[in-house]
Amino acid sequence: MDKLSFNILQIVEETQVSGDRFIYPNKETFKDIEEDFHRLIEGTYYEVIADDNEDFIWFSFKFGKPNPRDNHVTHVKTGEKRTNQRDTEETELLYQFFCLYNYNTNYLYISNTNKKNILKKIIHEKTDKKYTFKSIKKTADEFMSILNKVDKITFTETKNLFSQDTKRRQALVDLTGTDAPNAFTIEAEYGEQSTIKKFINRLLSEQTNHTLKDLIICGSDEDDFDVIFNNDTFTRKVDIECKKDENGKYSADEVRESLLSELDL
């Protein structure tokens, strides 16, 4: 089984109309989207399957480029070459990504954030509205309120986090052999422990005071969704397990069902 991660984003309509500060797409927004269609965008061919349901809309993308293309294909065991029969205007759809938009939560789950602009472009074409994709940003306090288990903490100390009292100073000497490095980075893994929130609050405070940088906190919430605090950016994602076929591709139906099961939809 392979792990497939879905980052969680929000889609906000770009509007000049006064009124609601945030306008999210809903079921009516996508009512005219076909069940299957294709687009050629910046030299890449995208084949799209859309499935609109009462609570969500699902998108499955396959994509590939006609170029580069070699004039020959090579047998990987014998090294024997033969003429490549693929036309210069044909492509193999070797790559995939998947998206699910939940009408109830206004959350978008996307398996490849590098392709979010492709989805945004297609939604704009289909709905004649412009949308912005936003990361879910929360304050440090909000992040701490949903943090249920801590897996790993990474940060770089730049001033005096560990030299403000005798115990921490001695710990620093024991750890590094000196109490006066210009900067050092620590990565700590905690497994199942979840009793270090006091320490995390201290780190968040030190980050605010600019005595450390590159703070990354990885853990999970009560729903067992991964949550990541990276400096001032809060990231939330969902991991699922799916099996690839003999060609290294996922079954779109299996991915969808696994994600729906994880989201209790």
Does residue 229 belong to any structural domain of this protein? no
Q: Which helix (H) or strand (E) holds 82?
A: strand 81-83
The pair of structure tokens assigned to 164 is 């403000």
CA proximity to 102, closest of 48, 73, 59, 39:
59
Mention every residue, 6+ apart, whose C-beta is less than 8 A from residue 139: none
Q: If the chain, 265 residues long, is cut into consecutive pieces of 10 residues, what is the mean pLDDT of each piece?
A: 90 69 84 93 95 95 92 91 90 95 93 94 91 75 75 69 55 58 60 64 70 73 73 74 92 96 89
What pLDDT is recorded for position 167? 57
What pLDDT is recorded for position 52? 94
Does residue 235 belong to any structural domain of this protein? no
Q: In this structure, are 6 and 127 located in the same domain? A: yes
Q: In this structure, are 120 and 12 located in the same domain? A: yes
* pTM of the entire predicted model: 0.71
Does residue 108 belong to any structural domain of this protein? yes
Does residue 226 belong to any structural domain of this protein? no
Count H helices and E strands in the chain, helices first.
5, 14
Neighbours of 134 (CB within 10 A): 12
Does residue 233 belong to any structural domain of this protein? no
CA proximity to 57, closest of 24, 35, 40:
35
What pLDDT is recorded for position 50? 96
Q: In this structure, are 112 and 190 located in the same domain? A: no
Q: In this structure, are 131 and 12 located in the same domain? A: yes
Q: In this structure, are 117 and 248 located in the same domain? A: yes
Q: In this structure, are 122 and 246 located in the same domain? A: yes
Q: In this structure, are 77 and 195 located in the same domain? A: no
What pLDDT is recorded for position 149? 77
| Domain residue limits at 191 | 149-220
Q: In this structure, are 156 and 131 located in the same domain? A: no
Dihedral sign computed on CA atoms, order 219, 221, 225, 231: negative
Distances (CA, A) of 135 to 113, 214, 227, 236: 10, 18, 12, 9
Phi-psi region of 3 (alpha: psi -120 to 50; beta: other; left: phi over 0): beta
What pLDDT is recorded for position 236? 75
Q: In this structure, are 173 and 108 located in the same domain? A: no
The pair of structure tokens assigned to 252 is 């779109």
Q: In this structure, are 23 and 128 located in the same domain? A: yes
Cα gap 244→247, rounded to integer Å = 8
What pLDDT is recorded for position 58? 97
Does residue 227 belong to any structural domain of this protein? no
Count structural domains, the chain: 2
Does residue 225 belong to any structural domain of this protein? no
Does residue 189 belong to any structural domain of this protein? yes
Distances (CA, A) of 227 to 3, 55, 78: 16, 24, 47
Q: In this structure, are 64 and 123 located in the same domain? A: yes
What pLDDT is recorded for position 135? 76
Q: In this structure, are 112 and 170 located in the same domain? A: no
